[in-house]
Chain A
Amino acid sequence: MKNYPVVLINTVLSPLSFLLLIAFVTKGQLLPDAIEGGFIMSMFNSGTSLQGDLAHLKNDFKLQDMVVSSPTSPAAYVTGMALAEVIYSTPALAVLTVLAAIYIHPGPLQVLELVSVFLLMFLTSIAIGYTLSTFSSDIVQSFAFSRLISTLFSTLPPVYYPITYIPLPFRYAAYLSPTTYAAEISQSATGLLSLSTAGTALAWVVLLVTTAILAVVAAKKARWREV
Chain B
Amino acid sequence: MASGELSCKGLTKVYSASNGRKALDSVDVRIPSRGIFSLIGMNGAGKTTLVRILATQLEPTSGAASIDGIDVVSQAARLRERIATVPQEARTVPWMTPKQTVLSYLMWRGTSYADASAKASEVLGRVGLGQQENVLTRRLSGGMKRKTLVATVLASEADIVFLDEPTTGLDPISRKELWAYLGTLAKDRFVILTTHYLEEAEELASCIGIMHMGRLVGLGSLDDLRASVKQQYSIRISAGSAVPEVKEGAVTRSRSGEAQILTTEAEAYGLSRLLLDAGAKFSMSKISLDDIFFHLVNRGDDEVSRR
Q: Do A and B bind each other?
A: yes
Decide yes or no whether A68 CB sits under 8 A from chain B: yes
Judged by a CB distance under 8 angstroms, whether A164 is at the interface is no
Size of the chain A interface, CB-CB below 8 angstroms: 21
* A77 at interface, CB cutoff 8 A: yes
Q: How many contacting A-B pairs (Cβ < 8 A)?
A: 74
A62 touches B59 (CB 8 A): no
* B56, A69: Cβ atoms closer than 8 Å: yes
Q: Are A69 and B85 in contact (CB under 8 A)?
A: yes
Query: Are B136 and A225 closer than 8 Å at their CB atoms?
Result: no
Contacts known (A70-B84, A71-B81, A72-B109); A61 close to B93, Cβ less than 8 A: yes
Question: Who on chain A is nearest to B86 by CB?
Answer: A66
B213 contacts A by Cβ under 8 Å: no
Given known pairs A62-B87, A72-B109, A225-B56, the reply for A3 and B76 (CB within 8 Å) is no
Instruction: With both chains docked as a complex, state the minimum distance between the C-beta of A133 and any C-beta of chain B, in angstroms.
Output: 16
Residues of B within 8 A of A60 (CB): 91
Given contacts A61-B90, A226-B57, contact A70 B95 (CB under 8 A): no
Q: Is the CB of B90 within 8 A of A70?
A: no
Interface of B is mostly: loop
Flag whether B105 is at the interface (Cβ < 8 A): yes
Which residues of B have CB within 8 Å of A225?
56-59, 76
Chain A, 64-108, contact with B by CB distance < 8 Å: what is the 0/1 string?
Answer: 011111111000110010000000000000000000000000000
Q: A71-B109, A225-B59 are known contacts. Are A65 and B52 too (CB-CB below 8 A)?
A: yes
- Smallest CB–CB gap between B107 and chain A, Å? 8
Chain B CB count within 10 A is highest, among A57, A62, A71, for A71
Q: Are B85 and A65 in contact (CB under 8 A)?
A: yes
Does A4 reach chain B (CB closer than 8 Å)? yes
CB of A227 within 8 A of chain B? yes
- From B84, B88, B110, B136, A69 is in contact (CB under 8 Å) with B84
Interface size on B, residues (CB 8 A): 32
Closest to B106 in A: A70
Contact with A along B49-89 (1 / 0, CB 8 A): 00010011111000000000000000010001101111111
Q: Is B232 an interface residue (CB 8 A)?
A: no
Whether the pair A77, B108 counts as a contact (CB closer than 8 A) is yes
Q: Does B96 contact A (CB under 8 A)?
A: yes
Q: Which residue of B lies closest to A64 (CB)?
A: B57
A173 to B55: give the CA distance in the assembly, Å: 45
Q: Does B152 contact A (CB under 8 A)?
A: yes
Inter-subunit contact B109/A4 (CB<8 Å): no
Most B CB within 10 A of own CB, among A3, A57, A60, A65: A65
Chain A residues closer than 8 Å to B76, beta-carbon distance: 225
Question: In the complex, what residues of B have CB within 8 A of residue A69's CB?
Answer: 55-57, 80, 83-85, 162
Residues from chain B with a CB closer than 8 A to the CB of A4 are 95
Please indicate the chain B residues that have their CB under 8 angstroms from the CB of A3 in the complex: 95-96, 136
Residues on the B chain within 8 Å of A70, using CB: 80, 83-85, 105, 108-109, 156, 158
Closest B-chain residue to A224, C-beta based? B57
CB distance from B15 to the nearest CB of A (A): 9
Closest to A61 in B: B91
- Chain A residues proximal to chain B, CB less than 8 Å: 3-4, 57, 60-63, 65-72, 76-77, 80, 225-227
Given contacts A66-B86, A70-B105, A226-B58, list 7 more A-B pairs with CB under 8 A.
Answer: A57-B93, A61-B92, A65-B87, A67-B108, A225-B59, A226-B59, A227-B16
Could you name 9 residue pairs across A and B whose Cβ atoms are closer than 8 Å?
A63-B93, A66-B86, A66-B87, A69-B57, A69-B162, A70-B105, A70-B108, A72-B108, A225-B56
